[in-house]
Amino acid sequence: MKKSESKKSLPDARGYFGEYGGMFVPETLISALQELERGYNRIAGTPSFQKELRYYLEHYAGRPTPLYFASRMTADLHGARVYLKREDLAHTGAHKINNTVAQVLLAKKLRKKRIIAETGAGQHGVATATAAALFGLECEVYMGDLDIKRQALNVDRMRLLGAKVIPVYSGSMTLKDAMNEAIRDWVTNVETTHYVIGSVAGPHPYPRMVRDFQSVIGKEAKGQIVKLEGRLPDVLIACVGGGSNSIGLFYPFIGYKDIELVGVEAGGLGIETGRHGASLTAGEKGVLHGSMTKILMDRDGQIINPHSVSAGLDYPGVGPELSYLKDAGRLKVYPVKDDEALSATVYLSRKEGIIPALESAHAIAFAMRYVPKLPKRSLVVINVSGRGDKDMDIIREHIKLGG
């Protein structure tokens, strides 16, 4: 049996994971973040909050999601036994609902009346609007005007769910600008408003809070694989955008030093082209959205516009805990290019009848390279972070589907 080493838990009291994390925000937000941290510490660990959250995750969000033995993929790759953690089957089609239901429930306990969020492709906006509707709170979502034009379906979904979508016209009119506007709103309305950040990025306490809420993925997977195989897995693979689905799967396994953790980033058109979203592979230490972490920047320290065929991996930063785990050598990170992710989308669709999100397809693509090199008795768990229906337009643009 694998052994777990206990270590002091991170982040520290100041919100740091080693040299990463912290609260790099305007003075006016420090007290709001501290109030949120106090509220989180007071409420989230109590049996009554945990019980209520479990109720909504099970009866509303569709948890536990299955851990599915991918028998055709396993036979085809001639290596390790492959298991898929099916976050694509969660309500709204991805893991994001785990975090938004939990944060909006917390906001309700903190007596907030209004929910705000930022969104890029619209997936987090939809998951937040869903949770706000569930708990009957007002919801406003900031979204870059360019993204609004690119993601019309998700804009309509948010509006149908009763949320107001606020266009952002500053900067590149994409995710990072929407996040800046959401922070500005929060500064002025912090008394009444909770800001739901969609990943393990942003200032303390968000990286810790979102990690804890997403850890339900890893906790379930751990119980499921032990039940199915009688032991823990050898390798865990997940895609990394901001880092929430990956840390959610990895977190309960971090103490088991002989379990390999693999994060797969957006290689875009190739690292050498500069057109990618691989902050852990090619980023440098800097501050983005209130947190010290690895970010993509040019020689003048300006944020580089990232690129990925998958909107969810198209982010110039990454959660501080992932930067820490990478530097500590605990997390291995590999980039996967756009075209490999597209091929993996076709592969999983035809091999297992599962159309993965383009983000998740990055993890599948890496597994297709790696699983054949592993012994037959080893066990691999891949997080299928979401379903691919949302990506059909992009898939159609790139792949000839045939008759």
The tokens for 111 are: 């007596």
For 299, the token pair is 């020689």
Question: Which position among 15, 39, 233, 243 is part of the footprint of ligand PLP (CB under 6 A)?
Answer: 243
Looking at 174, 245, 281, 291, which residue binds ligand PLP (CB under 6 A)? 245
Tokens representing residue 316 in the block = 């110039």
Least distance between ligand PLP and beta carbon 299 (Å): 27
Q: Which of 115, 249, 360, 382 binds ligand PLP (CB under 6 A)?
A: 360
Ramachandran bin of 298, using left for φ above 0, alpha for ψ from -120 to 50, beta for the remaining angles: beta
Distance of alpha carbon 292 from alpha carbon 81, whole angstroms: 38
Q: Which residue in this structure is represented by tokens 């691989």?
A: 278
3-state DSSP assignment of residue 183:
helix
The span from the CA of 33 to the CA of 28, in Å, is 10
The answer to whether residue 385 is catalytic is yes
Strand, helix or coil for residue 297: strand
* H or E element, residue 211: helix 206-214
Contact positions with ligand PLP (CB under 6 A) in 76-95 = 94
Q: Is 74 in the site for ligand PLP (CB under 6 A)?
A: no
Rounded least distance, CB 231 to ligand PLP, Å: 27
Q: Does 385 bind ligand PLP (CB under 6 A)?
A: yes
CA distance 332 to 315: 19
One-letter amino acid for residue 346 of the chain: V
Binders in 163-222 for ligand PLP, by CB under 6 A:
199
User: In the complex, what is the shortest distance from the CB of residue 63 to ligand PLP, in angstroms, rounded to a whole number?
Assistant: 16
254 binds ligand PLP (CB under 6 A): no
Question: Which CB sits closer to ligand PLP, 123 or 224?
Answer: 123
d(CA 216, CA 234): 19
Verify binding: residue 96, ligand PLP, rule CB under 6 A.
yes
By CB under 6 A, the residues from 310 to 329 that bind ligand PLP are 312-313
Measured from the CB atom, the residue of 325 and 374 that comes closer to ligand PLP is 325
Q: Which residue, 115 or 374, has its beta carbon nearer to ligand PLP? A: 115
Part in contact with ligand PLP (CB under 6 A); list of ranges 16-24, 186-194, 239-247, 277-285: 239-247
**118 catalytically annotated:** yes
Contact 300, 309 (CB under 8 A): no
Residues touching ligand PLP, count (CB under 6 A): 19
Neighbour tally for 239: CB within 10 Å = 32
d(CA 28, CA 209): 21
- Report the nearest approach of ligand PLP to the CB of residue 93 (Å): 7
Q: Lay out the site mask for ligand PLP across 115-134 (x = CB under 6 A, - = otherwise).
A: --------x-----------
**Pairing mode of beta strands 20-21, 81-86:** unpaired
CB 335 within 8 A of CB 298: no
Which residues have a catalytic role annotated?
96, 118, 385
Residues in the site for ligand PLP, rule: CB under 6 A?
Answer: 94, 96, 123, 199, 239-246, 312-313, 357, 359-360, 385-386
